[in-house]
Amino acid sequence: MFGYTHELSHEWERRTTVRDFHAGLVPIDAICDADFLLKAAAEHHGADSERPCPVCESTMRVVTWVHSERLGRRTNTARSEEEIDRLVAEVGPITVHFVEVCRHCGWNYLLKEVTAAPVV
């Protein structure tokens, strides 16, 4: 069992970026730059987002990436919730990044950073 604590949300910056894009202040290739690996991770490890892509309105995926020195070579990899559960049980609290990815246009955004910690 694990829970998320210390959430750092980037929703406000996301709204600003989307607004600036629609106002023509940000070029599309500056925000729709998901590479092959990120799109593949979204395909295989992600879950459908409740929100449509803010650029092309396609269905997006949300991918969770784990980060911690204690994870060794497993840091900065995409993981499912079940895998995060196992990793937290093994090494203790880790940082999890929630990234939304549009496989159609390449929009990607770090939505929030949270700490996944064992529930005691």
> Which spans of this chain sit near Zn ion (rule: CB under 5 A)?
53, 55-56, 58, 102, 104-105, 107
At a CB cut-off of 8 Å and minimum separation 6, what does 114 contact?
4, 5, 6, 7, 8, 95, 96, 98
C-beta of 60 vs 94, nearer to Zn ion: 60
Kindly report the CA angle at 80 between 53 and 76, in degrees rounded to 5? 85
Min dist CB 115 to Zn ion, Å, is: 29
Min dist CB 68 to Zn ion, Å, is: 30
C-beta of 71 vs 111, nearer to Zn ion: 111
